[in-house]
Structure 1
């Protein structure tokens, strides 16, 4: 069997997605997600100009060898563009291999370690009443755990608090130029413990609550927040400080027992090495799409398991159903799976990418179709072409750029 065609499809059914479609000489196809939010066309160029020519004629069953060939062979390693491109190839090859075997991908990864996958949903509000209503909505949808993000008094816009359509669904905007948000760390640190207190008072001590600081705090500030939240027993505090400064997590760990999750912007296992071996974190947050594919993320899970660290892949709206499905297959097979973020997709996205995975009673299952269980409606995808889009930029009150 050989790869005879490799096609990159860009579509925007509400937001941009990049998909690699590989086809073999026996007519078997495989899909991989290469979406890099705000930098989609950089990955398209990397794939079309540099990777696709290397794939034609290769044996699709040589998944590990192809991964090493693309990672080591280019000399320039790592980085989000490179790893998203490799991820698309790797995931598409696993899709083909499982289809040829006539099995869902999780069976090739060792079979199921559980019957279903626990998820958490996103609750957000510009103020406390709106946030409490959002938590109620997520619970009504069946989510067993909820991430809570709140507006901060005095700030016009805050990460994780969406403009809604009036019934709670986020309105997703493509932007030709980045939205500029403002930020005040002191106001945030004063506000968030009260948010947890209000949510706990309303919903009790048993509901798992998560929160994302989105890299905006110094290590000392992160340690303070982690300590202040301890009384409310958060399931985790996510991305409390930029992890490029890995020593910063030592400071946070020394001052608090609040569980820590990190890694959605990491690209390789090397980014995690000290954090895992020194047990500075509790959950690894990388996605299949941005970590180089199923092959390296499975290795990360295995490495983390030796230190009682669990896997919890990133699952935002800007990872396509192809990337979502790949994560679910790995989650089902990996013994040290913790929880899966599930933001869902727009109805139009679901039409462009029909899939076998299903959400019910707050849990996900990848389905039992051969391969990933995701298809691509290329005609519908073509009807929704790429739209220029950027992630926001964050500035402090004095106008200086801050971490977003």
Structure 2
């Protein structure tokens, strides 16, 4: 079996899919994308495919991963890692179809039969947070995630800290003692600011706080983990085992590799194993499309130290399309009391609606995240 063609498709709302075709008729799908840099990643996918994949045996997944990540003198970074990630997902999809097994079965088999998932909730005021969390509880979910704040000073004021606490209090009231909420800081605070913010969150028992500091300050994150009993999570902007290692050494409790950014299923599996040696849990980052979620689930079902799965169905910033628009078998992504059941289909376990993907290709304007500024005109973290 040989790879004959690699195609990419930029589809709404902000996703990039890749399709690997073989001379045997087997086809694999993946999702290589950086939100806001889809076209850049698309170019990288084409370069990697032409240099390393077309004409090669698709079942040599590890060899391909090594060549794609190390075959150039300049390596690494989010663009290349994301291009590799989607291609790696597609290769695992082909392998599963070739062996008539889900990818997680090829990675050692399932360790659970369902995975817990959480929903994103918005709302700037406590009442709005309470209403949105209540709606998700009524829909059967037992966990949610929300932003700690909107635009904020990197060293938060007393008023800003009070607002963070009131939002957390509203979430806890809606969830009760059995539910969980996570808080995402998006790296908007300094290390000192994060310590202060976690102090006000601690009474409400969040499941974890995400990215309390920017990834470039991972060498300081130990100051945060050492100052609180709140579990600290990070990893969506870390793309390899070597980048994750300092965070684990600093005492991070939860690692969040993104399977469309961190080298695909191959590298995310190794990141999860590394995290296990530090007694850390894995919660794959996934605000993306159906293939990223399908790959994340394959990891979740074969990973002993898995915690919870992010997913983007109904997320507030999708515009123009939804995750389910591109799949034929929506049952795979149907929730059961806030959980997703183990997929049994081959490969990534999802059937893509190829006609819908081809029709959608190129129909959406390039997505870019908002650019924020502080009242004094200086740059603010989004």
TM-score normalised by length of structure 1: 0.87
Deviates more, 1:120-129 or 1:68-77: 120-129
Structure 2 counterpart of 1:295, from 266, 272, 277 = 266
Alignment match, 1:173: none
Alignment match, 2:4: 4
Deviates more, 1:340-349 or 1:256-265: 340-349
Deviation of 1:32 after TM superposition, in Å, equals: 1.0
Alignment match, 1:391: 369
Equivalents in 1 of 2:37, 2:146: separation in Å? 27
Deviation of 1:366 after TM superposition, in Å, equals: 4.4
TM-score normalised by length of structure 2: 0.92
Structure 2 counterpart of 1:352, from 326, 343, 351 = 326
* Alignment check: 8 A CA contact 1:34 1:43 kept: yes
Equivalents in 1 of 2:245, 2:100: separation in Å? 36
Q: 1:1-30: CA deviations, max 9, x gaps?
A: 111111112222xx0221111111111010
Q: Are 1:24 and 2:25 counterparts?
A: no
* Alignment check: 8 A CA contact 1:183 1:395 kept: no
Equivalents in 1 of 2:171, 2:92: separation in Å? 42
2:312 counterpart SS class: coil
* Alignment check: 8 A CA contact 1:183 1:397 kept: no
Deviation of 1:85 after TM superposition, in Å, equals: 0.6
Equivalents in 1 of 2:342, 2:42: separation in Å? 27
Deviation of 1:247 after TM superposition, in Å, equals: 3.0
Equivalents in 2 of 1:251, 1:89: separation in Å? 37
Q: How does 1:165-244 map to 2 (within 5 A)?
A: 182-184=151-153, 185-186=156-157, 187-244=159-216
Equivalents in 2 of 1:4, 1:333: separation in Å? 30
Equivalents in 1 of 2:66, 2:370: separation in Å? 34
Q: 1:93-133: CA deviations, max 9, x gaps?
A: 11111111101111111111111001111122131211111
Alignment match, 1:115: 113
1:147 counterpart SS class: strand
- Consecutive unaligned residues in structure 2, runs of 5 or more: none
Structure 1 counterpart of 2:297, from 328, 332, 339 = 328
Aligned length: 370
Change (3 A) 1:110 1:28: same
* Alignment check: 8 A CA contact 1:357 1:373 kept: no
Runs of 4+ in 1 over 6 A off after TM superposition: none
Q: Are 1:367 and 2:367 counterparts?
A: no
1:124 counterpart SS class: coil
- Consecutive unaligned residues in structure 1, runs of 5 or more: 153-157, 159-181
Structure 2 counterpart of 1:62, from 60, 63, 71 = 60
Deviation of 1:362 after TM superposition, in Å, equals: 0.2
Structure 1 counterpart of 2:46, from 45, 48, 63 = 48
The CA RMSD over aligned residues, in Å, is: 1.8
Structure 1 counterpart of 2:33, from 29, 32, 35 = 35
1:246 counterpart SS class: helix
Q: 1:256-285: CA deviations, max 9, x gaps?
A: 11100101111111111122134x201111
